[in-house]
Amino acid sequence: MNLIQHLNKIYDTKSKPFLIYQNTELKFSDIINEKQINLDIVKPGDVVALIGDFNASSISTLLRLIDLKTIIVPLTIETKNTHDYFFESALVDVVIDDGKVKQIQQKNHHILIENLRQKSHAGLILFSSGTTGRPKAILHDMTLFLKRFQTPRPTLKMINFLLFDHIGGINTLLHTIFNRGIVVAPIDRNVDSILKTCAKYKVEVLPTIGLLLFVGAIGKSAQIGLHTWLPDAMEGPTPVSALIHAATMVTAGVYLVIRCSPLYEHSGLALTVVTIFGALTAFVAGTIGLVQNDLKKVIAYSTCSQLGYMVFACGLSNYSVSMFHLVNHAYFKALLFLSAGSVIHALNDEQDMRRMGGLLQVLPYTYVMILVGSLALMGFPFLTGFYSKDVVLEIAYAKYSLHGTFAHWLGVLSAGITAFYSFRLIYLTFVSNPNGFKNAIQNAHDAPLPMAAPLFILCVGSVFVGYLTKDLFIGLGTPFWNNAIFTSPQNLTMVDAEFVPVYIKWLPVVVSLLGASLSMGAFHFLKDFLFTVCVQPIGRNFYTFLNRRWLFDRLQNDLVGSVVLKLGYRTTYKLLDKGVVELFGPKGATFLMIIFGKQISDLQSGLVHQYAFTMFIGVSLFMTKLLFWPIFASSIDTNLCFVVLVTLTFTNHFVAKLS
């Protein structure tokens, strides 16, 4: 049974279209019954260049060529200037262009093409993009290629925005055919046309794309599961920490999701996963920050938590709000990091908050800076963080979905936790009784002018930037984003967020103020009570669990890190480095040369009869070559003569040694 007969049996030709091309819906039967191109001159095994697009004629011809067991070279009109090069490189026998069939005489052959012809298999030749030179031909066995599609999968509606000569385009076409799906080919291959086509025909972009992209964002923006590297990156200088953790590196994953908004907007599953991961990150990172004693690590985990807010805002299709919070976060988080650097500098590189305290009188300027940054971080009214953080939580509530509600309440709880550890930092560092070395506190000094000036600039940004830019970033109808962000109309919730109940709008502020009050009250008045709770079995286990960072580090080290390290030790180090490389590398080569040199030196025995025998063999071979070589030249190999000479020489040597 040929391919077309097989597809006719599995495909439902009556109920739905197969191809939507230039706004025309075609059934599979329409494709098969398309005006047939005369392929009489095409023979099995011929290399056929098919110039076309995803129209009915090209698809029909493609299927017929597969049935004929030809080797197909799909090309497009866009590559017209390089067609001659493609014909020559692929050894094309027949060219099909605009319904016309033209034969080319090929004198050359290629062993891979001949192998396909001997197997009677159809083939596919595709060309690389040519980024490292001229495009290179890649030969595929079409018969083996089609075996991947033997088991039908659920029906899909797929948009084919790739070109006819691209492996992705061919794969999408064949995948859709075998799964009884619908191929949607946009008129133009620009972003606007593709998005309009997706919306018009309700194309569901494969969620795998968005999920795989999000895996990269998880690692880059320290989301739950791959977040453990972020606090460990605090070992560098504080200005570097401020740069990479406030404005550049860790926000790259969030920016990736924002710029890939067209993909996520057509994948509901991916958006749900992004929302859940972001909400869990905001909560888990906040709880870990509650028990950290390193000044910079507290701020690092707050970064991780705020990145969770940005991510789940993306999952709720509010990319502009996420970007707004990203920009606002850069100001107050850089302020916190640089202020922490001022404290560390004043205390001779001390970072443990348990060895600080009483710095309010010594470092008043730094105290004000950290206080402003912490208030902006917790979303205190009318500071920069308030204008973006509260909007994130309001749109989560206005989503009116299960994952939106989940993100909203975890976000509100995380806001209270953020306020708690922020004021814990302030209390232990500045307000509590001095607990460090006396000489360190006595010699402490506030930030000098080169350190104080950036703090002041960031402080101004942490107070005013949110208010000044909110209409620019998230105002209804703002032209700022132009076409940089795409949001599906059914996912718009900004207007709904304006009409949420008043108590929902005030809830994050109330929870944050409550968390700050509990923190100051607990550490000032209830220190003994906290100590008593922490030494109890339940309290101790809970504290240990948080202090060990929810055991994420342990799990990654034991389940992933140790396995990879052991595998690397046993393979890369023991087997390759200390095995194969040593055997065939410099040491092995040196050992072999020593042995070979010793054997060669043994030939210099000083025995006259050995030298005479060697000279006799050489003269005999030379005379044989002169006299008899013209006769036996066609049947005697020169290399064989050399082997015989060397063999006789060493035989003579070993016979002499035995005697």
Q: Apex CA 468: angle with CA 466 and CA 469, to 5°?
A: 70
Contact 340, 363 (CB under 8 A): no
Structure tokens given for 281: 């990150």
- Going by their DSSP bridges, the two strands 123-127 and 137-141 should be labelled as antiparallel
pLDDT at 60: 85
pLDDT at 657: 53
Which residues are 334's β-sheet partners? none
* Cα 368 to Cα 365: distance, rounded to the nearest angstrom: 5
pLDDT at 172: 79
pLDDT at 643: 66
pLDDT at 411: 94
pLDDT at 479: 86
- Give Cβ neighbours of residue 31 (< 8 Å, ≥ 6 apart): 18, 19, 56, 59, 60, 63
* Cα 129 to Cα 106: distance, rounded to the nearest angstrom: 25
Q: Return the DSSP state at 250.
A: T
- Going by their DSSP bridges, the two strands 47-51 and 94-97 should be labelled as parallel
Which residues are 185's β-sheet partners? 21
Which residues are 102's β-sheet partners? 95
Q: What is the mean pLDDT of each run of 10 residues along the chain (659 residues)?
A: 69 66 75 76 91 84 88 88 88 88 82 88 88 85 78 66 79 78 76 74 71 90 88 79 81 91 84 94 93 90 93 93 94 93 88 88 92 93 92 91 93 94 93 81 84 93 93 87 84 85 92 93 84 85 88 83 84 79 75 76 73 80 72 60 63 54
* Cα 630 to Cα 337: distance, rounded to the nearest angstrom: 88
Q: Return the DSSP state at 293.
A: -
